[in-house]
Amino acid sequence: MTETPSRPQVLRIVLVDDQGLMRAGFRALLDAEDGIEVVGEAADGEQGVALVREQVPDIALIDVQMPVMSGIEATRRIAADPALAAVRVVILTNYGLDSYVFEALRAGASGFLLKDTEPADLLQALEVVARGEALLSPSVTRTLIGEFVARPPDRATPPGLECLTRREREVTALAARGLTNEEIAAHMVISPFTAKTHISRAMTKLGARDRAQLVVFAYESGLVTARGR
């Protein structure tokens, strides 16, 4: 089985935001860090997709609301392109866990960041995504679950879970409840490595880019149902 990828020696970033001042701020912060290179900027989603195809960065930081093409549609196109399978999209938003974030996660985003995130938290978040992990902490996952309770997702095209083994379904359901690998291991009386292995296999079988999408799949398929408040 393939291990979780390590962080690239030089983390290549593309910035996509219609606000020039916002891009300049992010670029100044990121360019000041060793091992991070901003390889391009775009002012709308359409330009952003073209730039990502040209540069194939490690991470694309994409604003959710932009002219010409939204960040959600840009994310969808990037995620659907096999040549960009290694690119991780992080959505930038002013509003936290809103409807745009849910759509972005379904479209293939690896997570999201608030635009007023502290610089140290931004850099740490990029490290997390660069390692191939989802930018959703267990606490954020639990908040996400609470939002599913209040606003159930569309079930127009629910993914099939028939391909998963019983154990893979069980760990997927626990992950969707917001448990960490260590908490899943304790619940199932297995090692954290085994829990991680089951999660990784479930992601591979379902075509989930990361844990964030695995949580979405679990709810949209009906494997886990949102409890009423």
The pLDDT, as a whole number, for residue 30 is 92
Tell me: the pLDDT tens digits for 84-137? 988 988 888 776 555 676 677 778 887 777 787 788 888 888 887 777 665 555
What's this model's pTM, rounded to 2 decimal places?
Answer: 0.68
pLDDT at 132: 65
Check residue 154 and give its pLDDT: 54
Structure tokens at 135: 């930018």
pLDDT at 140 (0 to 100) = 55
Give the DSSP per-residue string, 58-76: SEEEEESS-SSS-HHHHHH
215 sits in which H/E element: helix 211-221
Degrees to nearest 5, angle at CA 203 with 166 and 113: 130
Pairing relation of β-strands 88-93 and 111-114? Answer: parallel
Tell me if 12 sits within 8 A of 58, measured CB to CB: yes
Over its C-alpha atoms, the chain yields an Rg (Å, rounded) of 17
Q: What is the pLDDT along the chain (229 residues), one digit of tens a residue?
A: 444 455 568 899 999 999 999 899 999 999 898 889 999 999 999 999 999 999 999 999 999 888 899 999 999 999 889 999 889 888 887 765 556 766 777 788 877 777 877 888 888 888 877 776 655 555 555 566 556 555 555 554 455 678 889 999 999 888 877 777 888 899 999 998 999 899 889 988 888 777 777 877 787 777 776 554 3
Residue corresponding to tokens 């490690």: 58
Q: Which of 119, 4, 134 is nearest to 59 (CA)?
A: 134
DSSP reduced 3-state for 113: strand
pLDDT of residue 225: 66
Instruction: Check residue 146 and give its pLDDT.
Output: 57
pLDDT of residue 216: 75
Spatial CB neighbours of 37, under 8 Å, sequence gap ≥ 6:
10, 11, 12, 13, 30, 31
Identify the pLDDT of residue 4. 46
